[in-house]
Structure 1
Amino acid sequence: MERLDGGSAVPERLRGGIVALGNFDGFHKGHQAVVARAVHRARAEERPVLVATFDPHPVRFFKPDLPPFRLTTLDQRERLFGAAGADAMLVFQFNADLASVSAPDFVTDWLASRIGAAGVVTGEDFTFGKGRGGNVELLMMLGRANRMSVDSVAPVIEEGEPVSSSRVREALEAGDCDTAARLLTRPFAIEGVVEHGDKRGRALGYPTANIPLGKYLRPRFGIYAVRGRLPDGRVLQGAANLGIRPSFDPPRELLEPFFFDFDEDLYGQAVEVELVAFLRPEARFEDAEALKAQMAADCEQAGARLAALPHVA
């Protein structure tokens, strides 16, 4: 699996490939269907598979003041695309130059010339080019002119509605981990480098890993049952506070997992934390003893929720 700059020429060994084209933030069931079609076609034709994505998200470029809304980092997407069968991830840097490229030029100069795509697979609602001037119908017409096949994939429908990143975000903002996981086919996960904190959790007997939320969407603030994956592949279980820690000052948005039966140094390591179940909202406590008692109850509840899940290697 390789990560390539979508604005540069693709290496010869990856030219003539099938390109899954979209943003793919979240990589939910609908996105997976697009990539699966590209993989199926590429394997049948003995071609490489490339998945194209955009960074930053085009919405962030045009509306820089929006609150954080991303569901995955590039590193997470790279792993997900690789697991789905892709040979490479193309990252289109969405900047003023790319925003000014017309739809015909994007197909001719970027997809056909720089990438050398033999085929493109995308969702039925995909738009592209300056002012979102291109749609799937135009992509098909331009594809024929450039000897490039184009497949469009219909939305995946669940409970009468298309699966979308917006639905995933709505579920997470409501603390509905089950719905988010069903749409994503996996629990929503936040990955970040563990930072030094004020060590208040350790003083209470619950040492936590402090992970900044960065550009991720803010799920409902509260206490969660979580699973953590370490760089060495170990999977840990625990409970986490996600939010501003109302019992402490100053407030700061953090994900703070406490992993059961674990007391190793994680500072500076990248840890991915899955939000498995929402347990309760954040709350302020009168004193340390009340907080400790609630943390013990939270850990017991989190352990029970996690024990009911299938084992994860």
Structure 2
Amino acid sequence: MQRYSDWRDLPTAARGATVALGNFDGVHRGHALLLASAHAARPDAPLAALTFEPHPRELFRPDDPPFRLSLPSARAEALGALGVQHVIEVKFDRTFSLLTADEFITQVLHQGLGALHLASGPDFAFGHRRGGDVSLLSARAEALGMGLTIVPPLADTRGPISSTRIRRALQDGYPERATDDLGHPWSIRGIVSHGDALGRTIGFPTANIPLGPQLEPARGVYAVTVPIDGRLVYGVANIGRRPTVAEGAISRVEVHLFDYAGDLYGQQLDVAVLHFLRAERRFAGLPELKAQIALDAAEARRLLGN
């Protein structure tokens, strides 16, 4: 899988592809269906995904709380795992946002990517002020010699699967629902940074990871897994602002890993959030907090089968 940050001057190998269109935040089961349908339409062509970086919402609504389900690197890896050979992360800035819908089709998809075939969901909107829809895309693609597959959203008894629905499930404290919709556990990716070492002093050392632009789920304690050096390590994590010891303005992830004693500072970890144990709350002091963490760890071990 290759990543490109510009739709202009793409290498020959990335042109003439079947191109799936969307933001692909989280790369959920609906996205997997879109990609499979794109490949099935033209199995003779390379499979590419065109997405936007940053997410358009970050440009137009910069004061919104962080909402991403996946960072660009994680998104690209997930797309690659589903067979995408080329990920084109179009730079979404003010200049690009002013392209008309027709200019997006003609200049980006046809001339820039040389797309052989396109695939999108029925609600795909594009161009200045979201002026283009799939009806326009269909007409212009046909005129320019590009095929088009419109893939209906994947749905279940709760309705269509979407990134919005997954965000809501995580914010409501239901990571199991997010796992079902994603087809894999939702993970928080980040670099382990130095904290205040308080966990170590009470017998529960933690790896501290900033949330950054990623979604903050319901604040509280979770059973988690973390792949490290080829094996899956179980653990318990607090996601929130630590009201008992030093409540801050920014939430972070503190992961206590079971039966692991390695040095993780500076390493990138993917913390898979599996089960919500309890809401974050303030305790009377460190002894009470320590006792509760022991209970949380025991419950996490039970839920994870360890």
Structure 2 length as normaliser, TM-score?
A: 0.97
Q: Secondary structure at the match of 1:47?
A: coil
Whether 1:283 and 2:274 are equivalent positions in the alignment is: no
Q: Give me the whole-angstrom Cα distance separating, in 2, the residues matched to 1:209 and 1:15.
A: 42
One-letter amino acid of the counterpart of residue 247, structure 1: T
Q: Give me the whole-angstrom Cα distance separating, in 2, the residues matched to 1:36 and 1:97.
A: 32
Q: How does 1:94-243 map to 2 (within 5 A)?
A: 94-230=92-228, 232-243=229-240
Q: Give me the whole-angstrom Cα distance separating, in 2, the residues matched to 1:201 and 1:10.
A: 49
Matched residue, 1:18: 18
CA shift for structure 1 position 109: 0.7
CA shift for structure 1 position 198: 0.3
Stretch moving more, 208-217 or 7-16: 7-16
Structure 1 residues without counterparts, runs of 5 or longer:
309-313
Whether 1:40 and 2:37 are equivalent positions in the alignment is: no
One-letter amino acid of the counterpart of residue 38, structure 1: A
Q: Secondary structure at the match of 2:36?
A: helix
Contact kept in structure 2, 1:6 and 1:52, CA below 8 Å = no
How many residues end up aligned between the 2 structures? 305
Q: Give me the whole-angstrom Cα distance separating, in 2, the residues matched to 1:229 and 1:36.
A: 27
One-letter amino acid of the counterpart of residue 24, structure 2: F
CA shift for structure 1 position 71: 0.5
Q: Secondary structure at the match of 2:222?
A: strand
CA shift for structure 1 position 212: 0.1
Contact kept in structure 1, 2:224 and 2:273, CA below 8 Å = yes
Q: Secondary structure at the match of 1:242?
A: strand
CA shift for structure 1 position 275: 0.5
Structure 2 residues without counterparts, runs of 5 or longer:
none
Q: Give me the whole-angstrom Cα distance separating, in 1, the residues matched to 2:9 and 2:151.
A: 27
Matched residue, 2:271: 273
Matched residue, 1:307: 305
One-letter amino acid of the counterpart of residue 64, structure 1: P
Q: Give me the whole-angstrom Cα distance separating, in 2, the residues matched to 1:76 and 1:257.
A: 19
CA shift for structure 1 position 8: 2.0
Q: What per-residue deviation string (whole Å, max 9, x for no partner) do you get for residues 111-137 of structure 1?
A: 111111001100011000011010011
Contact kept in structure 1, 2:41 and 2:149, CA below 8 Å = no
Q: Give me the whole-angstrom Cα distance separating, in 2, the residues matched to 1:182 and 1:26.
A: 12
Contact kept in structure 2, 1:10 and 1:116, CA below 8 Å = no
Matched residue, 1:295: 293
Matched residue, 2:72: 74
One-letter amino acid of the counterpart of residue 193, structure 1: I
Alpha-carbon RMSD across the aligned residues, in angstroms, is: 1.2
How many percent identity over aligned positions?
A: 41
CA shift for structure 1 position 160: 4.5
One-letter amino acid of the counterpart of residue 2, structure 1: Q
Matched residue, 2:243: 246
Stretch moving more, 242-251 or 272-281: 242-251
Contact kept in structure 1, 2:216 and 2:251, CA below 8 Å = no
Q: Secondary structure at the match of 1:210?
A: strand
Contact kept in structure 2, 1:56 and 1:94, CA below 8 Å = yes
Q: What per-residue deviation string (whole Å, max 9, x for no partner) do you get for residues 21-78 of structure 1?
A: 11111111211111111222342xx211111111111111111111111100111111
Residue of 230, 245, 258 corresponding to 2:256: 258
Whether 1:31 and 2:31 are equivalent positions in the alignment is: yes
Stretch moving more, 212-221 or 280-289: 280-289
CA shift for structure 1 position 288: 1.7
Stretch moving more, 158-167 or 213-222: 158-167
Q: Secondary structure at the match of 1:189?
A: strand
Q: Give me the whole-angstrom Cα distance separating, in 1, the residues matched to 2:147 and 2:27.
A: 23
